[in-house]
């Protein structure tokens, strides 16, 4: 077993990953010495990851995230270099002890020798069938979710990340509109035709493809398809080492732009997001974790972003992602210190902009942090700059819209949100629209929109807060109390204080929001400042 451990540690999956080498060595030795009962998060945090006795697994996700990565790397090893190994070492889910068993070396690897399809079937049934009423005037492209052809199911975040990076790069090409992620990813795993998808999204062209990662090798298939005729305009396959991923991405982007043959002029030269491929992997994993809107998912994401910054201190996107994570800790009441949430988020977003002043994403993060810090005028200024840097960035458009709404300009906010929806036709934007209707005192419309929002995002606390305030203002105490119960089910420690709605610029709006919550009659929900 120790010979097998030595072979694993020398493999490409582990040779450059000092943290995983130490982790694996520790759990194997502890298990072999009969101390597997000792292997819990606290012991691993202190003995492997150099945390002290104040370690809190609900806040610090280092053991959970690194255990997941270790399991993934072990599977990669046995799929590639360790295929014929007589002994298999695993880290079973639900625990941290090593497991050992003999491998049947005569059994073929699952999927071995199979060639990737040149034309993978992606796409899927949509949530609406009509073509958008106001399609963009310029040619529009939809980057469909790339099919994950990797041998293990937990590798899909890489395919998703490559797809999103391609969207971001294409959105910087002048004269081209790019459909946003939320709309294209609605088709993930659902069979339908490219023609149908393009009709529903208002797209002239579609890009579809697949990604296969096995060990340190990567294969990317991509093809450009005309929406109306479903004619394949271009297709290519790219094989590379994982460490050469960024150069390959640049080549894919150039080939696609050349294939479009519209003589587009890129607004700026694309550059690798980071100098460290492992940091990039952590960032993609963090993005996947953050989308759960749960406390554990948020903690996992935070660790991933911090690790990406540790590996590359000049990783602008990682600073921006971590900034948004910190601000959301405040919004969800998982962190009660304004300084350690919004304050830290503002520092991180400022750093992100300093690293990359040309990025709409870093500016959108700074807009968001400024707004939650109560600096509305400055937030609007930065939000407008984010949208000017990339008019296709729907996240920047959404954050500017919400900032304008909370600043008391809901009509202007609706105009900005319409621009976002034009590029993201399958995203209903129920939450932002509900907030804007609340700002316009249109309670019946706001209720309908927030009710729709919580059907799609049951853990999203802000929607319940607005509903509680609205029902309280309408004298419907039972309904208001029901919404507050939903909040405390999601976060039992949630206490609402006046400082938590600094996003509302005007005192009259803050008073209206607070009075509605107080009218619910749930006194223990309202805390003292």
- Model pLDDT for residues 89-137, shown as the tens digit of each residue: 998 778 899 999 887 655 444 433 333 333 333 333 333 333 444 544 5
Residue 511: Cβ within 10 Å count: 12
78-104 in b/e form (b: 16+ CB < 10 A) is bbbbbeebeebbebeeeebbbeeeeee
**DSSP letter at 501?**
G
Higher pLDDT, 483 or 189: 483
Query: On the CB side of 400, how many CA atoms lie within 13 Å of its CA?
Result: 28
Residue 142 has which token pair? 């939809």
Residue 170 has which token pair? 């294409």
Nearest-angstrom CA–CA distance, 303 and 478: 40
Domains of the chain: 2-102 (no CATH), 140-260 (3.40.50.10610), 275-401 (1.25.40.10), 428-529 (1.25.40.10)
**DSSP letter at 146?**
P
Nearest-angstrom CA–CA distance, 273 and 279: 10
Nearest-angstrom CA–CA distance, 70 and 68: 5
pLDDT single digits (tens) 360-391: 999 999 999 999 999 999 999 999 999 999 99
Tell me, what's the pLDDT at 133? Answer: 44
pLDDT single digits (tens) 417-427: 999 999 999 89
Nearest-angstrom CA–CA distance, 490 and 3: 48
Write phi, then psi, for 56 (nearest 5 degrees): -125, 110
The residue among 342, 278, 340 whose CA lies nearest residue 315 is 278
Q: What is the pTM of this model?
A: 0.77
Q: What Rg value do the Cα atoms of the chain yield, rounded?
A: 25
Tell me, what's the pLDDT at 261? Answer: 57
Alpha helices, DSSP H, located in 407-525: 410-423, 430-439, 443-456, 461-473, 477-490, 507-518
Higher pLDDT, 150 or 264: 150
């Amino acid at each position: 077993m120790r010979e097998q451990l030595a072979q694993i540690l020398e493999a490409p999956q582990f040779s450059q990953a000092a943290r995983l080498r130490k982790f694996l060595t520790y759990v194997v030795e502890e298990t072999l010495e009969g101390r597997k009962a000792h292997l819990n998060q606290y012991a691993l945090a202190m003995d492997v990851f150099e945390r002290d006795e104040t370690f809190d697994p609900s806040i610090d996700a280092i053991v959970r995230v690194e255990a997941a990565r270790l399991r993934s790397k072990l599977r990669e090893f046995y799929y590639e270099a360790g295929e014929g190994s007589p002994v298999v070492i695993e880290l079973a889910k639900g625990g941290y002890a090593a497991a050992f068993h003999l491998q049947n070396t005569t059994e073929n690897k699952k999927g071995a020798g199979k060639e990737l399809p040149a034309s993978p079937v992606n796409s899927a049934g949509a949530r609406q069938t009509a073509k958008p009423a106001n399609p963009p005037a310029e040619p529009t492209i939809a980057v469909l979710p790339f099919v994950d052809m990797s041998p293990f199911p937990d590798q899909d975040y890489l395919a998703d990340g490559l797809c999103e990076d391609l969207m971001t790069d294409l959105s910087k090409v002048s004269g081209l509109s790019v459909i946003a992620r939320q709309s294209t990813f609605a088709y993930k795993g659902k069979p339908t035709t490219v023609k149908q998808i393009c009709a529903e999204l208002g797209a002239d062209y579609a890009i579809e493809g697949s990604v296969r990662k096995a060990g340190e090798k990567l294969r990317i298939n991509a093809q450009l398809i005309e929406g109306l005729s479903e004619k394949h305009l271009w297709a290519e396959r790219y094989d590379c080492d994982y460490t050469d991923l960024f150069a390959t991405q640049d080549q894919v982007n150039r080939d696609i732009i050349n294939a479009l043959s519209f003589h587009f002029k890129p607004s700026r030269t694309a550059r690798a997001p980071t100098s460290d491929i492992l940091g990039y992997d952590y960032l993609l994993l963090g993005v996947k974790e953050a989308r759960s809107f749960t406390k554990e998912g948020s903690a996992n994401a935070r660790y991933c972003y911090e690790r990406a910054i540790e590996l590359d201190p000049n990783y602008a996107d990682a600073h921006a992602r971590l900034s948004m994570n910190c601000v959301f800790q405040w919004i969800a009441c998982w962190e009660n210190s304004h300084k350690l949430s919004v304050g830290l988020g503002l520092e991180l977003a400022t750093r992100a902009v300093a690293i990359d002043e040309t990025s709409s994403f870093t500016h959108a993060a700074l807009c968001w942090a400024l707004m939650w810090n109560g600096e509305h005028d400055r937030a609007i200024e930065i939000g407008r700059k984010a949208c000017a840097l990339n008019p296709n960035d729907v996240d920047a458009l959404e954050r500017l819209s919400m900032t304008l709404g909370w600043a008391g300009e809901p009509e202007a906010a609706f105009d900005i949100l319409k621009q976002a929806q034009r590029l993201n036709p399958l995203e209903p934007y129920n939450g932002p629209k509900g907030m804007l209707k609340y700002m316009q005192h249109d309670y019946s419309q706001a209720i309908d929109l927030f009710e729709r929002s919580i059907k799609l995002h049951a853990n999203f606390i802000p929607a319940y807060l607005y509903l509680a305030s609205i029902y309280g203002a309408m004298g419907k105490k039972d309904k208001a109390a029901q919404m507050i119960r939903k909040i405390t089910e999601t976060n039992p420690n949630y206490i609402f204080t006046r400082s938590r709605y600094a996003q509302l610029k005007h005192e009259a709006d803050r008073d209206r929001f607070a009075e509605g919550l107080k009218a619910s009659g749930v006194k223990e929900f309202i805390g003292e400042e």
